[in-house]
Structure 1
């Protein structure tokens, strides 16, 4: 048995009670879990400060100082031990409020100590509360346990009750490594270790927990990051290869009447170069006899829907039915309206199926699907209901895939004997590193150019005290016949967050833009669907000039006449959400504007977000900055994926390492797709047993 799968109960110093609380608090249940509970920072015990150089802004510091005097002062609640120490640059006062009598007995005046703690200041005097103290011995300096980088581990208040603070976890980890470091098996081929000059695996684990020095810590981190990213890419690319072998796909051998007629007579604009490239990639995929699995990334307004439609028309030309599944009724209706407008009357029937579709309409729809008469269906989760049966479903488009569960997507695939080709679309630009991990088993297409004639949206940042200028600008735009969105983060006032809220906003806007000259639509998530649709339609038809809304309009609303997007408390929104909201305007021929309103109190990240929005309209550039600010686990939809259970690697900072790992895996599978060569047996073993890699269970 692999010793690292042993329950933590059997580790000396853990026992039943501590093991149970570690499992409950930190999900540490086995030796492996403890070994992979890495320090989140290190305290540098190799450096000594002079008293004159320490200040409250520094982290924990270490000082060599001689004890000059000590005394217990105060009574009862104010009782404390005060010790004065000095070095050749100044005086440092040490103070204890607990354990006073015992500490007083151990401290010897005239002796030089290594003093370690968090520096503070009291009445202009450098001070440390409850420091660690150790008698200084020059002869034993290299062997004293403090002259290293000390690991600091995440713990909880509950764990501290069981002496499992950072130091308690450190002791358990030291025990584990002392007993089982020799059992840590290598899980990378020797030629990879040599090529990338990687530290051995056992040495990497020793030095990530107890680094001998800063260089070895960096080598350990480098090794374990590479291993983590390499194994993840190995898993994803192997899945992709197995998928290709397992799932055959229908061959779309011809481009016929529907595609050609649409392209030559109905397409209202020239396709961009990226749109043509993506269509070519889809065309090639659907001729190979293997199920297509492709991700289509494109910024807001880049023309993904027309590419999706033209791909569906190729499927129809080859005798197949097609569908688009969107996560919300608003988005499904938007696709339906866009595609219906593009194809026009009498060309090809397009239907919409959502939870709001009436029963009598559903019956007709079901019959047309089963007979094969209905070729293009657009809908929500309603598409995966058992009653919805296709005669020959050959092409499926899933919009904003991360909003659907795996089982929901699979139910759609099972609507046909031969799995349909799959195109996943997202309007959220995904950083390259994230795409390679979240969607590493898909082929990726990118539309990175807006259609000709689109004017870039001008983005401006105003503070709350400049609101009158914004009102004046709004009135000018309305006088020109344009419409305006105003988006608020909350519906009702929150005691916790000082945010402009929708209700207060409506009052202010109503006073500034009174009836009958101005008309306002109000849309938020608490409205009934019918009321929401009524308000949306009033705005879409131009019956109202201003839409006051929450982020319910983030996706799926397309009003070419709307030229201004005003986002209140913009500092409270993530970059991705700000970019999505901005994409609601700029859909017509007129110049459009996005106005970001904020208070003067801006955090460091808040300033970066707003400055980024003002500086660039490039969604991919924005997504990279978003990744740096928020980390991969918080980006839209990725937390639920389970793929990003990365313990040491960071997609925001380890891009180069990820690209190296991916390239290496691709080269291995090109040369040895079955991992049958002797030098790759260690990788094959990892797949077969899951025992060769401590991290393997985490990514399977």
Structure 2
């Protein structure tokens, strides 16, 4: 007999198994059985009445009484007009590739037709149905099936080793259809799956019977069989429900294991001090925290006070004030005599964080300087492009403990960086970092100590996504904007159809600058790319360099226009960003280097050129750079596309709402969920086949509850080898540390 772990080449033979491995990477019996049908073909009903309904799918068996090749009227070529006599009725069928089928469909032969009824005036027929030529009065098939369409494919899939066709396969109420290639067609899977299931031993169920009963789950053995050969629609749904539950459970087990491993580590307790730098900062804070900020701050304060490492995700709308919450948390850790590291994805963002945090702290960031307050700390920046002298000075202050807050890019992870006593890690824009990077920074704490962890994102994550991709983290959410901040107005401008509106966009920028404010113009590419870096469609888009030159000499010639992109030298980037911060540049033409973290409260207008080239979440992020002061923000989305196209509709959806959570769901649905657990960001190979991270909240919630409970009772799943195997089958746990959003 056969078991799930057996190799397919041992069960099916090399000739059948090799193409499955080459085309789909299927090696074992379980691999094949988990290549689920993506849809099912319902067999047409037998002709039960003389005049079936238009659109009804029927299957008929009879004798060909007429087969005439006639020329087509509207175009070149011939069609084959066939009459099939069955049960005393005549069924007409038309084949448009007449010359190709005329040698198979001959008068007097027996045939099976399956197709959709099409009425024309007072008569009906089947247009280009699937067909299968039968042999003898018993309607048997021996040897290679002759026919076309799905029926012929089904017959090929129902052929056994002797060359005979199992006709019972063609009478199945739901025929499975599989993802296939030219070399491995769907019917090949049909034949291979049937062969494997005929030999498969009963599959041992990894889920406890109590869990199956609680959630009304069929057994795994039944699910793996029924999903391929269901008898009813209920069978399909019940089998898929069980297999979805398994997929959700496998992922939740990975996250529960990680959550448990962190929980048993020791972290430095950092209770809030009443007379430290954190309290001093609160005294000089020029504004009152929102209710949401206060609530999240209390959660984080409580976490930091414990000896169990905090592992928390702080998510919130663009401009909701996540950074100030994170800064207060870092100061709480500094008061405990420990250091904090803030990891940012880009040098622009790291520099911006360093500048803004230093400015917010004021004298409280001048520790070691003459006249510094007793309760002050020191904020240090470390990036890869800093001069050797500056880098050496930063490294020295980090290793001696003089730097309480260290802000940097990937440079913080380098082996040359040593912390005196790291107590907390903050990761900004967490989706920009992979597993290894986050953990490499945490590993820089003293031996035996696990730093507290706070990861932040301004890309809102729907609840099911957060539960499935960040289930090892507790989640805090900021939804409200700081007081006095008006929602941003967004308009879509079809540049080709409304050129006057484009000119009006530049005029609006001039008006805002005249009122003392600033603007961004964002482009999808730089403009100095090498020819081999450009896709075939890229030259049609406007580059930042070209737009900068055009606006500087044209529509915005009377304004101070600056240029910023990722390939500028670091010093030049810093100069441009500082000039924009200081108000010495009116309009900043840039790429997405300003997508996250850049905070210039005086900027009120953003024009995004070729907006259709950006994703939904990216547009929302970019839009969040404006309106951060007390003035109304205006975002203009320029596109060469015409209204009515799907992509234009996507831009309209962005313009219609500023709710980042609503847009996140829209973005994920359009990008498809294969991107959600992308290996590029997570370092993870996943095989979600049936589970929808957006649609199956009930399953994910139930799976999370079960997974956390079983891991709490049995860390490592030593007593549950079946669950451990199920987890490994769904996720490559040798490379997983945590699952991230792409």
Q: Same fold (TM over 0.5)?
A: yes
- Following the alignment from structure 2 to structure 1, what is the Cα–Cα distance between the partners of residues 78 and 199? 42
**Equivalent in 481, 488, 499 of residue 457 of structure 1:** 488
The answer on 1:544 being equivalent to 2:541 is no
Question: Normalization by structure 1: what TM-score?
Answer: 0.86
The answer on 1:471 being equivalent to 2:469 is no
Aligned to 2:472: 441
1:210 alignment partner, SS class: coil
Alpha-carbon offset, residue 491 of structure 1: 4.0
- Following the alignment from structure 1 to structure 2, what is the Cα–Cα distance between the partners of residues 469 and 96? 56
Aligned to 2:523: 488
Aligned to 1:341: 359
Number of equivalenced pairs: 671
- Following the alignment from structure 1 to structure 2, what is the Cα–Cα distance between the partners of residues 514 and 473? 11
Alpha-carbon offset, residue 112 of structure 1: 7.1
Alpha-carbon offset, residue 509 of structure 1: 3.0
Alpha-carbon offset, residue 224 of structure 1: 0.9
1:115-130 paired onto structure 2 within 5 Å: 115-116=114-115, 128-129=127-128
- Following the alignment from structure 2 to structure 1, what is the Cα–Cα distance between the partners of residues 573 and 466? 34
Query: 1:202-258, CA deviations, whole angstroms, 9 ceiling, x for partnerless residues?
Result: 12111211221212111111111112212322332233123212x111111341433
**Equivalent in 36, 39, 55 of residue 38 of structure 1:** 36
Aligned to 2:198: 178
Alpha-carbon offset, residue 429 of structure 1: 1.1
CA contact (8 A) 2:174 2:232 kept: yes
**Equivalent in 436, 444, 447 of residue 407 of structure 1:** 436
- Following the alignment from structure 1 to structure 2, what is the Cα–Cα distance between the partners of residues 251 and 144? 66
CA contact (8 A) 2:254 2:727 kept: no
Question: Aligned pair in 2 of structure 1 residues 660, 142: CA closer, same or farther (>3 Å)?
Answer: farther
CA contact (8 A) 2:459 2:621 kept: yes
* Structure 2: unaligned runs, 5 residues or longer: 141-165, 367-375, 528-533, 735-742
Aligned to 1:674: 714
CA contact (8 A) 1:520 1:545 kept: yes
Alpha-carbon offset, residue 606 of structure 1: 2.5
Aligned to 2:210: 191
- Following the alignment from structure 2 to structure 1, what is the Cα–Cα distance between the partners of residues 633 and 38? 45
CA contact (8 A) 2:677 2:686 kept: no
1:183 alignment partner, SS class: coil
> Alignment RMSD, CA only?
3.6
- Following the alignment from structure 2 to structure 1, what is the Cα–Cα distance between the partners of residues 704 and 581? 46
* Structure 1: unaligned runs, 5 residues or longer: none
Aligned to 1:291: 309
Question: Normalization by structure 2: what TM-score?
Answer: 0.82
* Structure 1, 558-567 or 490-499: larger mean CA deviation: 490-499
- Following the alignment from structure 2 to structure 1, what is the Cα–Cα distance between the partners of residues 68 and 728? 53
CA contact (8 A) 2:44 2:59 kept: no
CA contact (8 A) 1:51 1:89 kept: no
- Following the alignment from structure 1 to structure 2, what is the Cα–Cα distance between the partners of residues 694 and 544? 55
Aligned to 2:179: 154
Aligned to 1:70: 67
- Following the alignment from structure 1 to structure 2, what is the Cα–Cα distance between the partners of residues 68 and 258? 98
The answer on 1:686 being equivalent to 2:722 is yes
1:332 alignment partner, SS class: helix
- Following the alignment from structure 1 to structure 2, what is the Cα–Cα distance between the partners of residues 26 and 587? 50
Aligned to 1:314: 332
Aligned to 2:603: 562
1:385-400 paired onto structure 2 within 5 Å: 385-400=414-429
1:356 alignment partner, SS class: coil
2:4 alignment partner, SS class: helix
The answer on 1:329 being equivalent to 2:327 is no
Alpha-carbon offset, residue 318 of structure 1: 0.8
Aligned to 2:26: 28
Query: 1:264-300, CA deviations, whole angstroms, 9 ceiling, x for partnerless residues?
Result: 4221211112222222222222222122222111221
